[in-house]
């Protein structure tokens, strides 16, 4: 079991001037949002690291929390993913994620969610090794002071699980 420690910002568009590490097309859905049990299909489309382009199917469990939470994530076979997708029975959430390398060595993950839908939005995340490091991070120190202005890390209702509930479960 790992610990996920990350900050989250609402943003508009892709940042400019940072090396692109990878681009992934994703679709994700939730078996449960309390606790979080998520499936995700990840299609790697661009890799600045020379990694082969491939598709992965992931099952993830997350504890409650905002800045940090426990996370168990592992690959599953495509057939198992399709069974879980069928069990969920709702349209999965499409996301396009671009991961950029920051000057301090961190990675910035920027996500465009539900493109073309009335509810589409953008958000960015940076993962950290500790809560202290996360709290000390200043976007201006890596040239993102004007881009990462709307920090929603500690705000309730800002998770993808909450978005799933609002746009999939309550619409069903």
Q: Which domain holds residue 66?
A: 2-169
Residue 29, both tokens: 């859905």
Q: Tell me, what's the pLDDT at 53?
A: 74
Confidence of residue 51 (pLDDT cuts 50, 70, 90): low
pLDDT of residue 24 exceeding 70: yes
Q: Tell me, what's the pLDDT at 123?
A: 98
Mean pLDDT of the chain: 95
Straight-line distance from the first to the last Cα atom of the chain, in angstroms, rounded to the nearest whole number: 33
> The domain that contains 42 carries what CATH number?
2.40.320.10
Q: What does the pLDDT look like over 127-166, one tens digit per residue? A: 999 999 999 999 999 999 999 999 999 999 999 999 999 9
Confidence of residue 83 (pLDDT cuts 50, 70, 90): very high
* CA pair distance 88, 92, nearest whole angstrom: 9
> What is the DSSP track for 126-145?
EE-SSHHHHHH--GGGGT-T
* CA pair distance 19, 6, nearest whole angstrom: 20
**Number of domains present in the structure of the chain:** 1
> What is the residue whose two structure tokens read 């859905």?
29
Confidence of residue 54 (pLDDT cuts 50, 70, 90): confident
Sign (positive or negative) of CA dihedral 9, 15, 21, 25: positive
Q: Tell me, what's the pLDDT at 49?
A: 66
What's the rounded mean pLDDT across residues 98-104? 97
């Amino acid at each position: 079991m790992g610990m996920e420690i990350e900050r989250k910002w609402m943003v508009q568009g892709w940042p400019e001037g940072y090396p692109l590490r990878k681009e992934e097309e994703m679709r994700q859905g939730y078996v449960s949002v309390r606790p979080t049990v998520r499936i995700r299909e990840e299609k790697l489309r661009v890799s600045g690291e020379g990694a082969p382009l491939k598709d992965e199917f992931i099952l993830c469990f997350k504890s409650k929390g905002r800045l940090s939470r426990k996370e168990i994530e592992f690959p599953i076979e495509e057939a198992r993913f399709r069974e879980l997708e069928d069990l969920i029975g709702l349209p999965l959430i499409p996301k396009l994620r671009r991961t950029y390398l920051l000057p301090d060595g961190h990675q910035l993950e920027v996500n465009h969610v539900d493109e073309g839908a009335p509810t589409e939005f953008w958000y960015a995340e940076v993962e950290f090794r500790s809560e202290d490091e996360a709290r000390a991070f200043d976007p201006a120190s890596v040239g993102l002071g004007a881009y990462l202005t709307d920090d929603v890390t500690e705000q309730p209702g800002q998770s993808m699980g909450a978005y799933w509930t609002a746009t999939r479960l309550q619409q069903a």
